[in-house]
Structure 1
Amino acid sequence: MTDMSPGAAKRPHEVVIHYVEHGTGRPVLVLHGAGVDHREAEACFEPLLHGTAGLRRIYPDLPGTGRTAAPETLRSADDVLDALLAFADEATGGTGGTGGTGYLLIGHSAGAYFAQAMAARRPAQVAGLALVCPLLPGLREVPEHRAAIGAGGTGGTGGIGDEVFRSYFVIQTPEMLDRYERYVAPAAALVDESALERIGERWELTPGHAPPYAGPVAIVAGRLDSTVGYAAAVDLLGHYPHASLTVADDAGHALPHEQPELLRALLVEWLARVGRSG
C-alpha cells in the first residue's frame, strides 16, 4: 500500500517547506516548475515511479507556491537554492558521501534549474539527476507555440479549454484539459505572485565553479516547447559526462502530461544507470 505523509520542514530564511511523500527506500526529490505546486509533479511522476520498489518519493512545494510561504528574507534564486539544499539534507537524512547511497533529483522546468544547481553543490549526495524541460539561462531558438493535436485529433484546437491551457499544452484534448483543470489550475490561487516577482528580479543563480556533475543524468525536452525550447537543453549534453538526451516530438512544456509512457521508459533507463553506478 502506498504511504502518503504530509510534512513541513523549517529552512534558512524562516522557510517552512510543505511536502508530501510516498513509499520507503532511497529518497527521490521531485521539484515542480513555476506557478504550480507539488500536485502537478505528483500527478505526473507518481504514476511513473510508484511501481519501482525501494523509492521514497518526496514532492515539496517550492517557496511562494502551494503551502510553502516565501518570507521577505527570500529575495533571490540563490536564497531559494539554499532553502532547498537544507530541506534536502533534512528530508533525506543527509544521505550521501562515504558509505551512503545518495538521493535522486528530478526537476521539471524551474524545478530542473534548481535540481541542476543542487547536484552541482552536493555531488557526493546526489546519486542521479533527471531534468525535464529544464529552465536554463541563455534560452535560444524557442519556437512559436502551436498545437500538435487538437480536440479533433489534428493540429487544430477546436476551441477547447481556456487561453492558459491552450498556451501550455500542445496536446489539446479533453484528457489533457482534465489534467490541467485538476492538477495545474488549482495552484494559481495559492501562488504568492509578489514573492515570485521579488525572487524573479534575481532569478539567475550565481555561477558555481564546481566540476560538472558526474553522476547519471537524463535530459528530456519537448520539441514544441514554446516556454523554454529545447536548444539550451541539447547544450547540456556536452556539460554532463554521463548524460542521455531525448527531444520528444509532439510534446511541449507540459511533456510530463503529454508523453507519460515515453517519460516512464526514460526514467526506467535512468534508474538502471543509477543502479549500475552504485
Structure 2
Amino acid sequence: MLPLEDALDGSGWRRIYIDLPWAAGNADTNVSSADHVAQSALNDIHKCLGDRPFAVIGNSFGGMISRHIAHVLRDQVLGLATLAGVYEPTHQARSLPRRQVVREDPSVLALAGHVREDYEEMTVVQSQATLEAFTRYVLPGLRGANQAILERVAAEYALSVEPEVAHPAPFEAPSLHLFGRQDHVTGYEDGWKLRSHYVRGTYAVLDAAGHNAHLERPDLTAALVKDWLARTRASAQ
C-alpha cells in the first residue's frame, strides 16, 4: 500500500496499516484460515479506533478482508476500496484473462537479476519504473513472509460466508473497485458481478495493468483513490 502514500499526502486522512499475520516480525498465533485473518483485523481496528468512523482499503487478499470489515462494521465504515481484490476465493472458479505481457523489455529483465523470476511472474508492463516499484514495495513482503502461516491460510482461503451474502442489503457508502485488465491472478469479472450490491461504487478495469495494477498504473490509481476519498469525505459530512 505504500506506493499510494504520495497520493494521500495532504489529504487530511490518518493512515493505519494493519500487518496481516504472515508479515515479517509477527509472532505465529496459529492463524489458520481467512476467517481468523478477518477477525484479527477486526480486533486490531477495535484496538486502534474503538467506535470511531473510518474508511478501509485493501489490495489482493486484503481486498477480501476489507470487504468483510466494511460489512461487519457497516455503521462505522465511511467507505471501501479494493485494489485487484479477491472476489472469488477459489482459484479454479475464477474468471481470468489469459496471461499476457503488454510491454516486454528484455533489458529490464536483465536488470532484474535475482528478482527476475518473481518480477516476471506478475508483471505485465516491463519497465525500469515497475521493476523499481516491485523491488521496493512488493519483494520485501514476498521474501519476509512466514510461509508456514501462508500455507495454513491458503488451505482455508475462503471466508465461511462471503460478505455480500452474510449482509445482503446494498452497500451504500462510497466505494472503489479497481482491477487490472491483464490480471491473471484475481481477474476482474468476478468483482464486476457484485456491482449492483455496491450502489455508490466506481468500477475501473485498467488496461496495461496486472495484479500489481497500482504499480503499473500509479497515476490513474492515485487519481481514483483520491476521488474515492473525496466522495467518502463528502458523504460523511
TM-score for the superposition, normalised by structure 2: 0.89
Alignment of 1:85-234 (within 5 A): 85-95=42-52, 102-137=53-88, 139-151=93-105, 159=110, 161=112, 162-207=116-161, 209-210=166-167, 211-234=169-192
Higher strand share: 1
Deviations 1:83-113 (A, max 9, x none): 1001011212321xxxxxx201011100101
Structure 2 gaps, min length 5: none
Paired residue for 2:6, among 33, 47, 59? 47
Contact 1:48 1:260 in 2 (8 A): no
4+ residue runs over 3 A deviation: 156-160
Q: Which residue of 1 aligns with 2:32?
A: 75
Q: Which residue of 2 aligns with 1:268?
A: 226
Higher helix share: 2
- SS of alignment partner, residue 193 of structure 2: helix
How far apart, in 2, do the equivalents of 1:87 and 1:199 lie?
18
- The alpha-carbon deviation at position 159 of structure 1 amounts to 5.0
Give the alignment's Cα RMSD to 1 decimal.
1.8
Amino acid at match of 1:91: C
Contact 2:108 2:131 in 1 (8 A): no
Higher RCO structure (Cα 8 Å, ≥6 apart): 2
Contact 1:219 1:244 in 2 (8 A): yes
Amino acid at match of 2:71: A
Contact 2:55 2:77 in 1 (8 A): yes
- SS of alignment partner, residue 200 of structure 1: helix
Contact 1:160 1:172 in 2 (8 A): no
- The alpha-carbon deviation at position 276 of structure 1 amounts to 2.2
Deviations 1:193-213 (A, max 9, x none): 111111221111021522243
Question: Quick one: percent identity of the two aligned structures?
Answer: 30
